[in-house]
Each structure stands twice: as C-alpha cells, then as structure tokens.
Amino acid sequence: MRKSSLIYFGLVWLVFGATSVLADSVPKPGVAPAFTSKADVMLSTAETFIRARDYEKALAVAEDLAKVYSNYAPGWMILGHCRSLAGEFEASNEAYETALSIGADANQVYNRMAYNHVKMEEWAKARHRYEAILDLDHTDVNALVQHAYIDEKLNNFEDAIVFCKKALDVKPSNTKVIAALARIEAKRGEKSEARFWLKKGLEVDPESKLFLNKLSVLLINEQSYEEALPHLEKLLVVDPDNPAIHRNVGIAYYGLSKKKEAKEAFEVLRRTGGKMNGLYGPLAESYRATGEKAKAMAVVKEGIREKDQVAWLYCIWGKLLEESENYDGAIDKFKKAAELREKPWTGYAEKQIARQIKLKKRAELMAAQGGGK
C-alpha cells in the first residue's frame, strides 16, 4: 500500500473506527458517491497539513481524496492547491480544470490557474484567465489589478494604466493601485503624472511611508528640494533611524545651499550606518563651508581612498589649500582633478589653476613690497 494511502486510512481509522474502512471509502462502480463526512475529514486533514507547512503530507492526502472521491470538486481544488505549493504548476492547473468541470466556482478556479501561469511566467495565459474573470464580473478589483500587473511586466504601460484606473473606479481609495499608477507613470517617463498619483496617495493616507518616500525622492531628482523637505521631515518622525531618509534630507539641504543642515544630516547618516557613496563631495564641501577644515580634509582623503567623486574631492582639497595660502599645493590638486577628465570638474579645475597662479603672483608681489594681504 502506498505511503499516501496509509496516511489517509490511518486518520480515518481514528475518526470512524477500524471496521469497514475500505468498503466505506471506495465508491461503488457506476454510482456517484454520496459524499459523507469522510471526504470532509480528508479535506480538513489536507488543510491542517498545509497550515503546518507539511506540504508533502498534504499533497499525499489530497491525491487520495481526489482518487477516492473523483466527483468531489473541493477535493480537486485542494489537490490543485497542494500541487501549486509543491511547485507543480502545470499539474496544479490540470486539477483545477477537473474541479471546474464538476462544478467548482469559476472565479476561484480562474484566479488560482492565473496564479500558476504567473509563476511559470506564462503571461498571455495568465492574462487570459483574468479576462475570463472580468467576463464574469467586470468590477473584480483583484482581476483588474492583476491584469494591470501583467501588462506592466510586458511593458504595456498604457493598458496597465487603463486597468488600474478601472480598479480605482470600483475602489477609489485603493492605495496599492494608486502606488502602481505612480510607478507605471514613472517607468514611462511621465514624472508629472507620477507626482500626481503620489500626491493622490497622500490624500488617501497622509502618513504613508511609501508615498512620502517615493514623492520626496522624485522631488529631489527634480531638484525641487524645498518641496521635498516637508515630506522628508514627516518621514523622520515615523522612521528616525532610517539612513536613507537622512541621506535625502542632507541632499535636499545641500541643494538649498544650507551647508550646516546638510552636514548634520550626513553626520546622522554615518552614525546610523548609511552608505556614503556619492556624498563625500557634499559632506566635505559642507565642512569646508562651515569652517571645519580638519573634518573636511579627513572626508576628502576618505572619499579618494574609496575612489568616489575623486575629481570633486581634489577640487575641494585645492580650495582648502588655497584658504591656507598654499597655492603650489592647490595647483597640484587642481591638476590632479583636471587629469581625471570628469565633467564638470575638468573645466572648473583648469580655471582654478589659472586662478591659483594669479593668487601666487599677487602674494609674491605683496611680499616683495613688504605689504600684507
């Protein structure tokens, strides 16, 4: 006897007693089984194993259930579910097809089959299943959203937007759909539309970390720093230890030429373990602008070691040396920056070299004349 059969019949023995197990369990040839509670027990047993994440035993019971009660639609549905959990997606859909043929709910069957098609990346087949659901109920929000998801995967952005908007017509406050619309619009380069949907999401859920974060990042990328800051400040209230938020706060303040506030945000970023890639220049320049030259120099050297924003950092190094009237040293650093040929720093460095030469000559002339600065 197969292991799966032993599992089932052992359970039935406990529930109904040891007598007449086989005679009671196997339907007579040519007679549609009158489903007793034994089928329900098997179904419940399979569900119990699923909840316990013992999918192998659940599948064994489900296979026996479908075999013994072949006209029992819930048995085929649970078999389809167990096969899907086991990664047997094609076999799962075969079980669902059988369930549908003997009266299972079409909406439920199509949803589960579509899920399997998605797992197999059979996008056209999955979309066909969701379209079948929408033929039954054109207001089915899940089917509309899933159809939009598939269209997005296939880069059919216009169709995805159409189905998302249909879902919103049914449920206007669905924040997942609003977020999807913002994401899709951003993917197709429609930043103003993406911004519209992100703001719409905040109207529905003003404290949403998702919408606050996405909108603030979008605004920073557009250099709308002043507009981004209120959203970032809200994020700091609900998530004060998130390095990414402090990073964006620092970028926003730096973009507004508020070097003191930028420096403070970047310092918190470092304390919370955030990555400094792309920020050595802003932090070093913020330290320089606030008179903390030693800290600026330390960040410059650190960034150069990390090979991050090297041309910019050499330029900052040059400015620090200029402020110390070390014009030869400044010229050397600006030359290093120019040699890297990184825009816009090459042109800037070349102009600074000429400037340092003039400053050096002026200093030498004043020294020769016995004058001061």
Looking at residue 370, what is its pLDDT?
75
* 323 within some domain: no
DSSP-H helix ranges across 239-326: 243-255, 259-271, 280-289, 293-305, 310-323
Q: Nearest-CA neighbor of 183 among 198, 165, 173? A: 198
Question: How far apart are the C-alpha atoms of 307 and 342, rounded to whole Å?
Answer: 13
When pLDDT is averaged across residues 238-243 and rounded to a whole number, the result is: 92
Question: How far apart are the C-alpha atoms of 212 and 232, rounded to whole Å?
Answer: 7
Question: How far apart are the C-alpha atoms of 324 and 332, rounded to whole Å?
Answer: 14
Final residue before a domain boundary, out of 75, 104, 133: 104
Instruction: Give the CATH number of the domain where residue 148 resides.
Output: 1.25.40.10
Backbone angle region of 116, left / alpha / beta, with phi > 0 → left and psi within -120 to 50 → alpha: alpha
Residue-wise DSSP of 188-217: TT-HHHHHHHHHHHHHH-TT-HHHHHHHHH
Do 97 and 164 fall into the same domain? no
SS3 label, residue 52: coil
Distance of CA 99 to the CA centre of its chain: 36
* 174 within some domain: yes
Do 131 and 100 fall into the same domain? no
Q: Is the dihedral of CA 289, 290, 292, 295 positive or negative?
A: negative
Question: How far apart are the C-alpha atoms of 363 and 327, rounded to whole Å?
Answer: 9
Final residue before a domain boundary, out of 173, 188, 206: 206
Question: How far apart are the C-alpha atoms of 340 and 99, rounded to whole Å?
Answer: 68
Q: Helix 280-289 to helix 243-255 angle, to the nearest 10 degrees? A: 50
Do 95 and 185 fall into the same domain? no
* Token digits of residue 282: 């802003």
pLDDT per residue as tens digits for the range 78-121: 999 999 999 999 999 999 999 999 999 999 999 999 999 999 99
* 281 within some domain: no
Report field, pTM of the whole predicted structure over 0.85: no
Question: How far apart are the C-alpha atoms of 162 and 168, rounded to whole Å?
Answer: 10
Element (DSSP H or E) covering residue 46: helix 37-51
Do 99 and 3 fall into the same domain? yes
Do 150 and 58 fall into the same domain? no
Do 83 and 8 fall into the same domain? yes
Place of tokens 């019949």: 9
Looking at residue 37, what is its pLDDT?
74
When pLDDT is averaged across residues 62-67 and rounded to a whole number, the result is: 97
* 219 within some domain: no
pLDDT per residue as tens digits for the range 345-363: 999 999 999 999 999 999 9
pLDDT per residue as tens digits for the range 124-173: 999 999 999 999 999 999 999 999 999 999 999 999 999 999 999 999 99
* 127 within some domain: yes
Question: How far apart are the C-alpha atoms of 264 and 289, rounded to whole Å?
Answer: 13
* 357 within some domain: no
Do 129 and 156 fall into the same domain? yes
Range of the domain at 154: 117-206
Distances in whole angstroms, Cα of residue 332 to Cα of each of 66, 88, 287, 295, 360: 82, 66, 22, 21, 13
| 127, amino acid identity | R
* 78 within some domain: yes
For residue 9, is pLDDT > 70? Answer: no
* Token digits of residue 168: 């919103």
Do 154 and 91 fall into the same domain? no
Q: Nearest-CA neighbor of 141 among 117, 176, 113? A: 176
Do 66 and 149 fall into the same domain? no
SS3 label, residue 69: coil
Q: Which residues contact 127 (CB under 8 A, 6 or more apart)?
A: 147, 150, 151
Residue 372: which pLDDT band, with cuts at 50, 70 and 90? low
Do 65 and 139 fall into the same domain? no
Residue 30: which pLDDT band, with cuts at 50, 70 and 90? very low
pLDDT per residue as tens digits for the range 285-324: 999 999 999 999 999 999 999 999 999 999 999 999 999 9
Q: Is the N-terminal amide bond of 344 cis, ω within 30° of 0?
A: yes
Looking at residue 24, what is its pLDDT?
38
Q: Which residues contact 101 (CB under 8 A, 6 or more apart)?
A: none
Do 127 and 91 fall into the same domain? no
Output the average pLDDT for the chain: 91
Final residue before a domain boundary, out of 80, 104, 128: 104
Residue 10: which pLDDT band, with cuts at 50, 70 and 90? very low
Under DSSP, the state recorded for 18 is S
Do 90 and 122 fall into the same domain? no
Q: Nearest-CA neighbor of 64 among 3, 134, 131, 139? A: 3
Number of domains within the chain? 2
pLDDT per residue as tens digits for the range 258-273: 999 999 999 999 999 9
Looking at residue 22, what is its pLDDT?
29
Residue 369: which pLDDT band, with cuts at 50, 70 and 90? confident
Instruction: Answer whether 281's CB lies under 8 Å from 312's CB.
Output: yes
For residue 26, is pLDDT > 70? Answer: no
* 162 within some domain: yes
